[in-house]
Amino acid sequence: MENIIGNENGGHLNKTASCVSEDNRVLRLFINGKAQDGLAYITYLTENNRYGDFAKAGYRLFSFPVFFGYNHLNENSGLYVFTKGIFDGDIPDFSVFDADVAKILKACPDAFLLPRVNVSPSENWEKAHPDELCNSTSGKKSGRFSFASDIWTEEVKKELALFIEHVENSEYASHIAGYQIAGGNTEEWLALVPDGISGKRAEEKYSEYLRSHSCGENKTSFYRFYSELVAGRICEFASEVKRLTENRLAVGSFYGYTFECPDRTSGHHALRRLLECEDIDFVCSPISYSMGRQVGRDHPYMIPLGSVKLHGKLYFSENDTRTHLSLPVNNTPHYTSPIWFGPDEATSCEVIKMHAARALINGHSAWWFDMWGGWFADERYMKLLEKLRQIFEQSRSLPMGGVSNVAVFVDEEAYANLDDISVSGKVCGFIREALGKMGAPYDLYLASDAERVIGGYSAVIALVPARTPYIEKLSDMTRSLKIAYLEITDKNSGISTGELREFLKKGNVHLWCRNDAVIYANESYLFLHTAENAVYELETPEKENLLDVITGELFVSGRKIERGKSFLLRRLKNSK
C-alpha cells in the first residue's frame, strides 16, 4: 500500500487516504494504513439520525446521502430525494452537505465518512434538455434523463469537480474516506423507464455499438449494449473521481444485481466491466428482498460475491434490516406493503445476527441502513450491534479463509437472450431459496471466471436460463476434471433441498447439517439459521466445540430448535 498516509513528496498530509487491500485473507477498507472492522451506518433522513447511538457502539465509518439535483429518488413510487440538490440553481449550494457532515462529526469527532453521491440531474435540467431524455412513460411528466446522454455525462463531471474541490478545501477533508457514486432509479443504476432505455441518445449510442461490435440489430444485442452502457458510465465517473482525488480515495457503486434482477431491462448485466476497472474499489447491493425476507430461510446475495472478491474488489452489503421499529416513509400504497415492516423485537435480533454473520464469515463489509431513521433505536438492538462490531474487530487475527466445496456459476450475458423474465427469475433468482437451505455453504461466480477457480471445488452448479459459450466451456471443464456437475434450467428449477443434498453427496461435499438449514462457514466460524422446527445436529469436518459468541455458551447438537433461530458459532478444536 504505497503512499497510503502520504509524505512530503506525495503530499496529502492533512487528508485521508484509503484503499482496498487484503488482510488475513479478507479484503478490507484501509484508511490511513489501518484496516477497518467492516461495519458502517447510514440513514437517508439525517434529521432522524442515530449517529450518537452507533458512535457509542464503536462505529466509526458513516455514510450519508448527497444529491446533485432535486428529482425523483424512486420513479416507481414517486418519492423525491430528501433535500434540495447542490446544483439546482446557478450557484452550487453545499450548505446541506456541510450541515450533514457537521451532524456526524458532532456525534463522532473521529468518524470517517463515505458519502453516497447521487449524480442524477434535477427536474429543471431535464426540462431544459428534452433531447437527453428517455421517451416519456406517462402523460404526466417527461421521460427521465438517459444514461446514453453525453451532455449529462459531461455535466456530471463538471459537478463532481466542483463538489470534490469544495470537500478537499474544507476543514473536514481529513474525514472523507471515499465516495460511492450513485444514480438512476433508487440510486442503484436501475432503469428509469420500464423497457430499460429509449430515446434519441440511446438510438445514437446503440448504432455506434452495432458498428463497433459488428453485430446485428436485435433485442439480444440491444440489451447487452444497455448493460455495457450503464456499467461504462459508472466506470467513467469513478475514473473522474480518482483523477480529482489524485487516486487517493476508494471509490465504488451499486451494481451487478445478477441474481436479483435477471430481467434484461435492468441494465445490471455487465458486472465484469466494473470488476476489470482499476478505478472501482468496491461494489454494493442490498440484501435480497426475495420471499419478503421471512425468517427460516436465507436472505441471499444479489451479486456474485466470489467473482467480486476474485477481482480484488471489496463488497459492501446494504443491510436495510427491518425491525419492529421499521415504518414506511409515507402512506402511499408503495410503502405500505409487508416488506416495509419488520418482525417483533426478538425475531429482529435473529435476523440482525444473520445479516452480520454472512458478512463476517463470507469476508466482506456491510452498512446498517437505518433508512428513515430510528429502525435500531432500541437498547437491545444497539447492544447486539455493538457486540457484533466487536466480534468483527476481534476476528481480524483469526484464520478467515473460506471452506466451501460448492461453486455456483451464472453467465450474465445469458439474460439478454430471454424475452421471458419468468425463466431467468426461476433459474437464477428463486433457486436461491433451495440453495440457501441445503445445509452447506456455496460460492457465487460469473461463468467468465470459472477457469480461474473451478479446480478448487468438488461440486459445481450452473444456473442456465439460456445456453452460452461460457456455460458450454464450464460443462466441458467439469467433465475433464471429473467434478460433480448439475445444471439448473427451466425444467428443474423447482429442485428441492433434499435433491440438492443428494447431488452434493456425489461430489463428496461435507454437509454441515442434514436437514434444511442456512449454513455459512469459514475456517473460524460456523453460522446456523434454522429453517424448520426440528432437531438440529451440526457436523464439523473435525472434532470441534462450537461456542456461541453472542451468548458465550457452547452449542449443544441434537436438540430441537424452533424455526428462525440464529447461532454465530466459533469453531474450537476439540482434542478429545
Rounded to the nearest 10 degrees, the angle between the axes of helix 219-244 and helix 200-213 is 100
Backbone phi, psi, residue 154, to 5°: -70, -35
- Residue range 538-551: average pLDDT? 96
Dist CA 307 CA 286 (whole Å) = 17
DSSP-based three-state secondary structure for 472: helix
Strand order in the sheet with 406-410: 443-446, 406-410, 459-463, 484-488
Residue 420, number of CB atoms within 10 A of its CB? 11
DSSP-based three-state secondary structure for 521: strand
Q: Which helix (H) or strand (E) holds 380?
A: helix 379-394
Confidence band of 335 (pLDDT split at 50, 70, 90): very high
Q: Is it the case that residue 247 has pLDDT exceeding 80?
A: yes
pTM of the entire predicted model: 0.95
pLDDT in tens, 13-72: 478 999 999 998 999 999 999 999 999 999 999 999 999 999 999 999 999 999 999 999
Rounded to the nearest 10 degrees, the angle between the axes of helix 379-394 and helix 345-362 is 10
Answer yes or no: are the C-beta atoms of 68 and 118 closer than 8 Å: yes
Residue 312, number of CB atoms within 10 A of its CB? 14
Answer yes or no: are the C-beta atoms of 14 and 167 closer than 8 Å: no
Backbone phi, psi, residue 15, to 5°: -125, 155
DSSP-based three-state secondary structure for 446: strand
The amino acid present at 447, given as its one-letter code, is: A
- Residue range 489-514: average pLDDT? 96
The amino acid present at 414, given as its one-letter code, is: A
The amino acid present at 332, given as its one-letter code, is: T
List the domain boundaries for the chain.
Answer: 18-397, 406-499, 517-573
> And the C-alpha cell for 311?
477481482
- Residue range 426-445: average pLDDT? 97
More confident residue, 10 or 97: 97
Beta bridge partners of 181: 117, 253
Contacts of the segment 238-243: beta carbons below 8 A, 24+ positions apart: 238/181, 238/277, 238/279, 238/280, 239/277, 239/279, 240/157, 240/160, 240/161, 241/160, 241/164, 241/179, 241/181, 241/279, 242/279
Measured CA distances, 135 to 131, 143, 193, 194 (Å):
9, 5, 8, 10
What CATH number does the domain located at 517-573 have? 2.60.40
Contacts of the segment 30-36: beta carbons below 8 A, 24+ positions apart: 30/1, 30/4, 31/112, 31/177, 32/4, 32/5, 33/1, 33/4, 33/5, 35/396, 36/60, 36/61, 36/112, 36/365
Confidence band of 193 (pLDDT split at 50, 70, 90): confident
In this structure, CATH architecture of domain 18-397 = Alpha-Beta Barrel (3.20)
142: which DSSP letter?
P
pLDDT in tens, 118-172: 999 999 999 999 999 998 765 445 589 999 999 999 999 999 999 999 999 999 9
On the 0-12 / 13-18 / 19+ scale of CB atoms within 10 A, 34 is exposed
CA 45 vs. chain centroid, Å, equals 21
Dist CA 22 CA 17 (whole Å) = 16
Q: Is it the case that residue 5 has pLDDT exceeding 60?
A: no
Percentage above 70 pLDDT, the chain? 96
Residue 12 confidence (pLDDT): 45
CATH of 406-499, one of 3.40.91, 3.40.50, 3.30.720, 1.10.10: 3.40.50
> And the C-alpha cell for 507?
461430489
Residue 143 confidence (pLDDT): 81
The amino acid present at 87, given as its one-letter code, is: F
Rounded to the nearest 10 degrees, the angle between the axes of helix 150-168 and helix 219-244 is 20
Measured CA distances, 560 to 5, 9, 175 (Å):
53, 64, 49
- Residue range 446-467: average pLDDT? 97
Region of 311 (left: φ > 0; alpha: ψ -120 to 50; beta: rest) is alpha
Dist CA 203 CA 409 (whole Å) = 33
Dist CA 111 CA 62 (whole Å) = 7
Residue 15 confidence (pLDDT): 84
Q: Which helix (H) or strand (E) holds 316?
A: strand 314-319
